[in-house]
Amino acid sequence: MKLAIVGGGPSAFYVASRLLSRMPDAGLRVHIFDRLWAPHGLVRYGVAPDHPEVKNCTNKFDQVAADPRFHFYGNVNVGTPKPAAMEDAVQLGLRDLQTHYSHLVFATGCALPALHSALAESAWCMSALSFVHWYTQHPSAPPPPALNTLSHVSLIGNGNVALDVARILLTPPSVLERYDVPQPVLDVLARSTVRHVQIIARRGPLHVAFTAKELRELTNLPDASMQPIDPSLLAIPSGTTPTRQQTRILQLLGQGSRNTFGTTPKTWTLDFFKSPTGLEPPPPGESLPRLLLTHTAVNNDGRAIPTTPAPPLPTSLVIPSLGFRSEPAAPFFDPTTGHLRTKAGRVLGADGRPIRGVYASGWAANGARGVLATTMMDAYAVADTVMSDAADGAEVGVEPHPELPMNPSPSDDLPPPQVRVAAARVVTYPDWKRVDAEEVRRGELLGKERERMRWEEAQVFLQGQPS
């Protein structure tokens, strides 16, 4: 088996880990391709910098990469058009992989933000994904928000990502500077004039998507305080038995923040049962645009439905945080689900039949849901399916699928020739470990976790370092 995995995040490494540990055969070869130059996907470019413990999984990924049957090829874009900011990436088509590999796993995640029909991106509206990519220095290089011109930020949605964004805006830079926050980001945060963050949820406290841990961190910020919530909103409806998590969240919301509202330089609000209906430019003579809102109610199906208009909300910036979706240009994308066409980990062709030797795991297969442990368990299950199909002879005698016939007997351990020819632009795992060590070294000089490099800087560094 010679397996190509497209995507280099946690799902990809967990699939590789499972296969390498369960298949001691020296004939197994696993190659990961990632269009980002650095590995680990959301662990590097999605996890909030003040959650360093979540990144401990990279120790396991390092162990995976130490197996001689494993290779990582970063800065290689497979199967979709290259984003403009990653023009330097090596381009591969799926046919290039098909020729050189017996099996293929898509672990490409959900790389685009879910959009709100009433909120077009503009000078007053940027997605939470762009904001996260800014403070993690993602290679897509979104422009920094003009925080030195903002006073009021409205977050649409109440998942953990929304609370991450709120926490970054409300935490003093003197606290963040010890973590993995790039210096250019700290410089922007130091000039921030944001004083209030409003988190808008279309349903009520029983339906929030954030965890108690995330809420507790927000309520304990040193320089921020939460506006008290109307106790009637925290009452449990008759006939409802909240889960332990819901009970804890209701308790935390009832307790409020550590600091009394109004005694801190910054404040924040959880605004329930509201949904945006539009965003208007600033009225004549005013500086702030207006977020148009409607009150909502939850129907018998648990869906939020609009009721009556709510007063417009003057705000400096709107940040929708409504989840993520796969790229429509991705191979085998299903527009009805927002992710790839799959069944039990197997990718389906246009005719609905499984494509021989082609699989998908994690968010690419299931959509953007679950935490890191969920991703791990799904990746293990997909790896088990790959092994089971091979061991049970499920692939023997089956005609190759016309959409992507894989090579049943690749003979070498080499990547496609395009990768070999462009080796100077491709990052291997040993390359990454040298960059990793240098980032940590630079961070230690500044008294922080690490100081990140951009691709151009990493490339110069690698060219001057022995391999």
Q: Which two tokens stand for residue 295?
A: 């009150």
Question: In angstroms, rounded to a whole number, what is the distance separating the alpha carbons of residues 183 and 170?
Answer: 18
Is-contact 142 134, C-beta < 8 A? yes
Q: Half-sphere exposure of residue 412, counting CA atoms within 13 Å on the CB side?
A: 6
**304 closest CA partner among 292, 314, 293, 315:** 293
Question: In angstroms, rounded to a whole number, what is the distance separating the alpha carbons of residues 283 and 289?
Answer: 7
Binding residues for NADP(+) are 158-161, 202-203, 214, 370
- Helix, strand, or coil (residue 50): coil
Q: Taking the alpha carbons of 355, 360, 366, 367 in that order, is the dihedral positive or negative?
A: negative
Long-range contacts of 433-438 (CB under 8 A, 24+ apart): 433/62, 434/461, 434/462, 434/465, 435/38, 435/461, 435/462
111: buried, middle or exposed (CB in 10 Å: 19+, 13-18, 0-12)? buried
Q: Which two tokens stand for residue 438?
A: 């240098």
* C-alpha separations of 364 from 111, 210, 324, 343, 352 in Å: 9, 22, 11, 12, 17
Q: Left, alpha or beta for 109 (phi > 0: left; psi -120 to 50: alpha)?
A: left
Binding residues are 11, 42, 78, 158-161, 202-203, 214, 363, 370
Is-contact 441 433, C-beta < 8 A? no
Binding residues for FAD are 11, 42, 78, 363
Q: Could you tell me which residues are beta bridge partners of residue 33?
A: 6, 73
Question: In angstroms, rounded to a whole number, what is the distance separating the alpha carbons of residues 408 and 112?
Answer: 33
Q: Any idea what DSSP says for residue 427?
A: B
